[in-house]
Structure 1
Amino acid sequence: MGRRIDYYDDPNAPQANSLVPSVNVVVENDKGEILMIRRTDNDNWALPGGAIDLGESVTQAGIRETKEETGIDVEITGLVGIYSDPKHLIHYTSNNEVRQEFSIVLRARPTGGTPTLSDESSKVQWSPLSEATDLPMDRSMRHRIRDFLVGNSHIVIS
């Protein structure tokens, strides 16, 4: 399996060769915890998410990706933000794809399911909001979680 390497404003980063619309989902439960995965491709903690497939809406992709990576069923409840910073590049070593960031981050609530590992997640856990950004993760993921913590009245477009 290849690795995922995130770069931010790095002059030594490879040149972007793709732009793939993707989605991440902040799932908050009734205890004030958010659903996190430990990625198998870089060992960092992250929100569930992935590429939006052809023929799929942003909402459908968020629901599907969350279920595939965590085993949790969700209902999408809103938007956190849209992230498209060309300084953030993601290098997938398996096929040498270098994506420019383009992620739509949604908010959701759990409706069922059981935390379950996948090929993309070595751990799945509910993390208290106060501790979520303390986990080892890429700066872009930490930024997205912090934007979620700001609240419903603040939508980020960057």
Structure 2
Amino acid sequence: MVSIPWADSYMGQIRELAGDRVLMFIAARAVLRDDQGRVLLIQRSDNGHWALPAGAMELGESIEQCAIREVQEETGLDARVVTPYALYSGPDYTFTNMWGHTYQHMVAGFRVDEWDGELQRVTDESLDAAWVDLADPPFPIPGTVTRTVDDLVEFESTGRFVLK
């Protein structure tokens, strides 16, 4: 699957129209774990940071479809079964990116329960991909990775959907 160029994406088009104002950014983030408990991370092509597969929802898709598409675009894997477990929103999730664009995020966290295919370490959106033990993470890695995985562990132990 070829990823959508930023300028053609919904967020790219809205950013062009809105200029510098703060925009709402609806996205999905996916956690894949292997049999050894390692987490699949990608090294993002835009900033070089290691991150979970994630990205913005496009018009005409559900948030679940967004998570599945982002996994495919960034890893080459086909997510077959996903479970939503967290929603991150509100002013604490407002960020300015490296291009000076500010977004208030609303991000749904998904656990990928089943997938198939061959891991592609390099894609249009990733410089590398690896199964990582978070006790010894690669650098640089944003705090959202460990917080998202910690929230998944909380969900699995309590059965309560995480809202932050």
TM-score (norm 1): 0.77
Structure having the larger proportion of residues in helix: 2
Select the residue among 18, 26, 47 that pairs with 2:23: 18
Partner residue in 1 for 2:163 = 157
For residue 102 of structure 2, what is the amino acid of its counterpart? V
Partners in 2 of 1:131 and 1:77 — Cα distance? 26
Select the residue among 54, 59, 68 that pairs with 1:63: 68
Please give the per-residue CA displacement for 1:5-31, whole angstroms capped at 9, x wherever unaligned: xxxxxxxxxx86100210000112333
Select the residue among 23, 32, 38 that pairs with 1:33: 38
CA-CA distance at 1:33 after TM superposition? 2.2
For residue 86 of structure 2, what is the amino acid of its counterpart? G
The structure whose RCO (Cα within 8 Å, separation 6+) is larger is: 1
Indicate conservation of the 8 Å contact 2:83/2:112, yes or no. Answer: yes
Indicate conservation of the 8 Å contact 1:44/1:137, yes or no. Answer: yes
TM-score (norm 2): 0.75
Partners in 1 of 2:21 and 2:148 — Cα distance? 22
CA-CA distance at 1:61 after TM superposition? 0.9
Select the residue among 69, 77, 94 that pairs with 1:72: 77
1:123 aligns with 2:128: yes
Q: Name the count of aligned residue pairs.
A: 143
Q: Where does structure 2 lack aligned partners over 5 or more consecutive residues? A: 1-5, 7-19
Please give the per-residue CA displacement for 1:23-44, whole angstroms capped at 9, x wherever unaligned: 0001123332221111122222
Partners in 2 of 1:105 and 1:40 — Cα distance? 21
Indicate conservation of the 8 Å contact 2:86/2:161, yes or no. Answer: yes
Shifted more, 145-154 versus 49-58: the winner is 145-154
Q: Where does structure 1 lack aligned partners over 5 or more consecutive residues? A: 2-14
Structure having the larger proportion of residues in strand: 1
Q: Percent identity?
A: 29
Indicate conservation of the 8 Å contact 2:80/2:116, yes or no. Answer: no
CA-CA distance at 1:125 after TM superposition? 0.9
Partner residue in 2 for 1:114 = 118
Partners in 2 of 1:148 and 1:130 — Cα distance? 16
* Cα distance, 1:118–1:157 mapped onto 2, change above 3 Å: same
